[in-house]
């Protein structure tokens, strides 16, 4: 009867991947913060300054948005849920292994 379980490993794996994604996003933001956008790379052409301004605005948007990735919060929630699942599995298995519960289960089959 003790075949009930909760797949907490999947939640922990997801939490780990969530944190890795957040770390990658934060790393990208740090890299982007170390560079600036100006008209020089676009050459001596008309509207290079306007184009650089638009690219620079997008650049700043990416820098601001990347660190907002809630990896630690979401990863922590998944870890807590996995722990609760482990506790639920343990408690359920303990109850399921009780003689009275086994008799009821056997009577239902």
pLDDT in tens, 39-66: 777 777 787 888 788 888 888 887 777 6
The total number of residues written for the chain in this structure? 109
**Cα–Cα distance measured from residue 46 to residue 67, given in angstroms and rounded to the nearest whole number:** 35
DSSP string, the chain: -------HHHHHHHHHHHHHHHHHHHHHHHHHHT----SGGG-S-TTHHHHHHHHHHHHHHHHHHGGG--HHHHHHHHHHHHHHHHHHHHHHHHHHTSHHHHHHHHHH-
CB 56 within 8 A of CB 37: yes
Give the number of other CB atoms < 10 A from CB of residue 18.
21
Output the tens digit of pLDDT for each of the chain's 109 residues.
Answer: 445 666 788 888 888 888 888 888 888 888 888 888 787 777 777 878 887 888 888 888 877 776 665 666 777 788 888 888 788 777 777 776 777 767 777 777 6
| Cα-Cα-Cα-Cα dihedral sign, residues 65, 69, 73, 74 | positive
């Amino acid at each position: 009867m003790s075949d009930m379980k909760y797949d907490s490993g999947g939640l922990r794996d997801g939490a780990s991947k969530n944190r890795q994604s957040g770390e990658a996003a934060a790393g990208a933001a740090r890299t982007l913060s170390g560079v600036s956008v100006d008209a020089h790379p676009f050459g001596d052409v008309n509207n290079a300054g306007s184009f650089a301004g638009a690219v620079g605005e997008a650049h700043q948007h990416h820098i601001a948005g990347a660190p907002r990735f809630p990896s630690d919060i979401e990863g922590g929630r998944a870890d807590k849920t996995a722990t609760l699942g482990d506790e639920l599995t343990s408690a359920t298995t303990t109850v399921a292994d009780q003689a009275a519960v086994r008799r009821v289960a056997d009577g239902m089959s």
